Copies of this chain bind each other. A is one copy, B any other.
Amino acid sequence: MILGIVGLGLMGGSFALAVRQHCNFSKIVGLDHNLSHTNEALELKLVDEIITFEEITQCDVIVLAIPICAIINTLQQLALLPLRENVTIIDFGSTKEEIIQKCPINLRHKLVASHPMAGTEYSGPKAAIRDLYDGKIMVVCDVEETNKYQLNVAFDIYKQLNMQIKIMYAAEHDRHAAFISHMPHIVSYSLANAVLKQEDNEHIVALAAGGFKSMARLAKSNPKMWEEIFWSNEENLLDAIEAFIQELKKAKKLIKKQKRKKLYKWMQKGNKLHKILK
């Protein structure tokens, strides 16, 4: 079996490293529209070979580890190629509804719409790490529209990578992702910008310790990649931002009105998150 990875950045590169360690593919090939990425991927031995887009027809499994718009475009192009009869196509898009809706009908039953709940704030082949997927959750959406064969191929790989598979509807995934990932990115960017806007921002930032750094970490993320995610999940994202603003306004009001007991209870409630967060 030949594995082809489209996009050799953090996600694709880490997937290549993990698959090489844990799975039995005869060859791992890849491509990336960024030439320095392909060179780096070869140097770092993420893939055995760089191929052209047309040469992807040799692959048994194709992983699309690229931004959402690129996934949608690539699926259109794949639909025109003489792919292997039993090819398994996996996409790692961070939102799922738009990709599934726009997937060409002749590929839909071969597409395993997946979202690995893993990542770092870094990008590119050099950011790839072997254990990025280890022990993490892989969400797979709208599985009833995918052939059993392709689901089995994908699930086998995920299990070999020690991932925990969670099946859900794309709509449900996108709403949850807005709360767990997309809105927190907006919050982190907001924190960064609020501090940067202060006249003495360098003095303020000089005092930063671990707490601030962990809150500001997501504001390092690549705007190109994240704006696509935001635009692909706009309504859920706005709902999540609104839910967050409500809590923030509540806290602000309690502080302004010196409602000490109520603020204390509000903080205690927040503590409870960690009872369900593993």
One of A6-14, A41-49, A98-106, A269-277 contacting the partner: A269-277
B residues near A191, Cβ cutoff 8 Å: 184, 187, 244, 247
Whether A223 lies near B271 (C-beta < 8 A) is yes
**How far is A276 from B200 in the complex, measured between Cα atoms in Å?**
12
> Are A238 and B255 CB-contacts (below 8 A) given A207-B180, A247-B194?
yes
B residues near A80, Cβ cutoff 8 Å: none
**How far is A183 from B191 in the complex, measured between Cα atoms in Å?**
9
Whether A180 lies near B223 (C-beta < 8 A) is no
**How far is A237 from B214 in the complex, measured between Cα atoms in Å?**
19
One of A21-29, A58-66, A151-159, A259-267 contacting the partner: A259-267
A276's closest neighbor in chain B, by CB? B205
A77 within 8 Å of B (CB atoms)? no
> Are A197 and B227 CB-contacts (below 8 A) given A191-B187, A220-B274?
no
B residues near A193, Cβ cutoff 8 Å: 247, 250, 266, 269-270, 273
Q: What copy number does this chain have within its complex?
A: 2
B residues near A83, Cβ cutoff 8 Å: none
A196 in complex: contacting residue of B200, B246, B263, B273, CB < 8 Å: B273
Whether B211 lies near A243 (C-beta < 8 A) is no
A118 within 8 Å of B (CB atoms)? yes
A210 within 8 Å of B (CB atoms)? yes
A241 in complex: contacting residue of B195, B243, B251, CB < 8 Å: B251
A35 within 8 Å of B (CB atoms)? no
B residues near A271, Cβ cutoff 8 Å: 192, 219-220, 223
Whether B255 lies near A209 (C-beta < 8 A) is no
Whether B266 lies near A189 (C-beta < 8 A) is yes
B residues near A206, Cβ cutoff 8 Å: 137, 166
Whether A181 lies near B243 (C-beta < 8 A) is no
Whether A203 lies near B187 (C-beta < 8 A) is no
> Are A209 and B277 CB-contacts (below 8 A) given A214-B217, A252-B238?
no
**How far is A114 from B251 in the complex, measured between Cα atoms in Å?**
28
**How far is A200 from B266 in the complex, measured between Cα atoms in Å?**
20
B residues near A252, Cβ cutoff 8 Å: 186, 238, 241-242, 245
What are 11 of the A-B contact pairs (CB < 8 Å)?
A: A121-B211, A191-B247, A192-B270, A196-B269, A213-B277, A227-B260, A227-B263, A241-B248, A241-B255, A245-B245, A245-B252
| A residues lining the B interface (CB < 8 Å) | 117-121, 136-137, 139, 166, 172-173, 176-177, 179-181, 183-198, 200-221, 223-224, 226-227, 230-231, 234, 237-238, 240-252, 255-256, 258, 260, 263-264, 266-274, 276-277
